[in-house]
Amino acid sequence: MEATLIFAIVGVILVGIIIALIAYTVVIRTTRINPKSCPATGGDFAVQPTKSGTSLKTCGSSGTSPCVFNQQNSLEAAITTCNGVPGCSAFTYYPAGKAMHIIDSSQPLVTATGVDTYIRQIPVIFE
């Protein structure tokens, strides 16, 4: 009877060790993102400060020109422009130059001074 009790205790300890190892492995393999690297949201767009991207080249009469819009006197004007262009899911805004570029949201962003990237958070249905 003592041998059975010892085996039961050893079995419980081994099961506990196995569960602890599995939990530890799951925690180690979990990718964690620093909250400081998450985009800040404020309305329809999230902001990636000091980031820029690759301009889309689907504008103009031929549909092959870069999607660059000058005379954007405010961020609100840039948002209105983006909302008026079908497929605009992200854009950069240059407040000093009063220009915006609609960018390819599938391409990686790069660090750029004086530029912020705005990424659409809420889908828009274009009619």
Query: What's the CATH code of the domain at 79?
Result: 3.50.4.10
Asked whether residue 51 falls in the same domain as residue 23, the answer is no
Separation of first and last alpha carbons in the chain: 79
Asked whether residue 81 falls in the same domain as residue 104, the answer is yes
DSSP assignment letter at 70: -
Helix (H, G, I), strand (E, B) or coil at 4: helix
**Is 113 part of any domain?**
yes
Q: What is the pLDDT of residues 42-69, one digit of tens each?
A: 678 889 999 999 999 988 888 899 999 9
How many structural domains are present in the chain?
2
**Is 126 part of any domain?**
no
Reply yes or no on whether the pLDDT at 103 is more than 60. Answer: yes
- pLDDT of 13: 93
Q: Fill in the amino acid letter for 50.
A: T
Helix-then-strand count for the chain, H and E: 2, 6
pLDDT > 90: percent of the chain: 52
